[in-house]
Structure 1
Amino acid sequence: MFKKIALLVLCALPFSLMAQEVKLGHINSQEILSLMPERTTIEKTISDLQAQWEKEIAKMREEYFAKTKEYQEKQATMPESIKQARQSEIAEMEQRISTTGQNAQTDLQKKSQDLFAPVIEKVKKAINEVGAENGYLYIFDLGAQSIIYQSPKSNDVTALVKKKLALK
């Protein structure tokens, strides 16, 4: 009798395992980030910094245009050595303006990343908590087209694929 019950349980076990629900979910992190209250303050900070850079570059351009205009007006009467010095000075100003523009872009990107990092971590933490609390195996991020949550119960098949491809 005991053997029959044990055999019945062993036969029914695979069916009960297959009946387990695999929960997958998806989110749009861009939508969530756009709704975060910190976003407004961060965007204002970035906008203010961008305005400062634009003001600095505009000042440099005004100086450049003034020098160029002066050079064009007086070049006919300038000795050759002064012409070359002015041309060199104007070329250096062009390079400085270009470099300043690149530095501004880099600075704005870095500042944006620095300011958004805590907000992104806050969102990731919430996603991980939702995934764990609700038994999700994976949560996909439609905004970033990636997996943003992976359950510890998920299976990594990398080793099996390596074996199949005879890789070490």
Structure 2
Amino acid sequence: MKKIIVLAVVALMGTAVTVNAQKIGHINTNDLLVAMPETKKAQDRLKNSQDSLNVVYAQLIKEYQEKDSIIRVDSVKWSPAIKQIRFKEFQDLADAVQQYSTSAQQFLQQKEQEFFAPVQKIALDAIQSVAKANGYAYVVSRDALLVVPTTDDLLPLVKKFLKIPETPAK
């Protein structure tokens, strides 16, 4: 009789644990972002910004190289006062090139954040909607896990939610 009671209690506890178990899903957000058409648009916008900055940078480099060539060839003919002025101009140009490079990098980082933040928000909102609709209490990043069951991968569901066509495996 004791064994039956113990087995009944164990069975009830197992049922209670099963009822309280919460679904945990996972997703590779990088794969999702790569598949999103909004990502391609953001990348194109960032590339356009980078290309326009590169045009100005190339002009500065060309001017720097021209001045460098002039200094190398003509500086032996210059008086000490002219040399001092020309070398100062050359150093100022070198500083301007360096400052432009630093400013351009900062600008591109800001633009990258500006262009990709809405894409990341769309992805996060979609993940949350799919998780809620499918009863997932937790969704973790696939990158953080070493072993995962394939049945809890939310990537196909989120792609379907965002109407992103499935691409065949390569």
TM-score, normalised to structure 2's length?
Answer: 0.72
Letter in 2 for 1:81: A
What are the residue-to-residue correspondences of 1:16-95 with 2, within 5 Å? 16-20=15-19, 21-95=21-95
The residue that corresponds to 1:129 in the other structure is 129
**Contact 2:24/2:137 (CA < 8 Å) preserved in 1?**
yes
Q: CA deviation at 1:33?
A: 0.7
5+ long unaligned stretches in structure 2 = 1-8, 146-170
The residue that corresponds to 1:156 in the other structure is none
**Contact 2:64/2:94 (CA < 8 Å) preserved in 1?**
yes
Tell me which of the two structures has the higher relative contact order, counting C-alpha pairs closer than 8 angstroms and 6 or more residues apart: 2
Task: Find the aligned partners of 1:42 and 1:15 in 2 and give their Cα distance.
Answer: 50
The residue that corresponds to 2:104 in the other structure is 104
**Contact 2:26/2:142 (CA < 8 Å) preserved in 1?**
yes
**Contact 2:53/2:104 (CA < 8 Å) preserved in 1?**
yes
Letter in 2 for 1:70: I
Task: Find the aligned partners of 1:19 and 1:33 in 2 and give their Cα distance.
Answer: 34
Task: Find the aligned partners of 1:50 and 1:17 in 2 and give their Cα distance.
Answer: 58
Cα RMSD over matched residues? Answer: 2.1
Letter in 2 for 1:16: T
Give a deviation string over 1:75-98, Cα, whole Å, max 9, x none: 111111221211111111111111
Task: Find the aligned partners of 1:39 and 1:109 in 2 and give their Cα distance.
Answer: 16
What are the residue-to-residue correspondences of 1:115-154 with 2, within 5 Å? 115-143=115-143, 145=144
**3-state SS in 2 of match to 1:19:** helix
Q: CA deviation at 1:13?
A: 5.8
Q: CA deviation at 1:126?
A: 1.0
5+ long unaligned stretches in structure 1 = 1-10, 147-168
Task: Find the aligned partners of 2:18 and 2:132 in 1 and give their Cα distance.
Answer: 20
**Contact 2:45/2:115 (CA < 8 Å) preserved in 1?**
no
Q: CA deviation at 1:16?
A: 2.8
Q: What stretches of structure 1 move > 6 A for 4+ residues in a row?
A: none
Task: Find the aligned partners of 2:114 and 2:12 in 1 and give their Cα distance.
Answer: 51
**3-state SS in 1 of match to 2:97:** helix
Task: Find the aligned partners of 2:106 and 2:135 in 1 and give their Cα distance.
Answer: 41
**Contact 2:46/2:115 (CA < 8 Å) preserved in 1?**
no
Q: CA deviation at 1:22?
A: 2.9
The residue that corresponds to 2:154 in the other structure is none
**3-state SS in 2 of match to 1:140:** strand
**3-state SS in 1 of match to 2:136:** coil
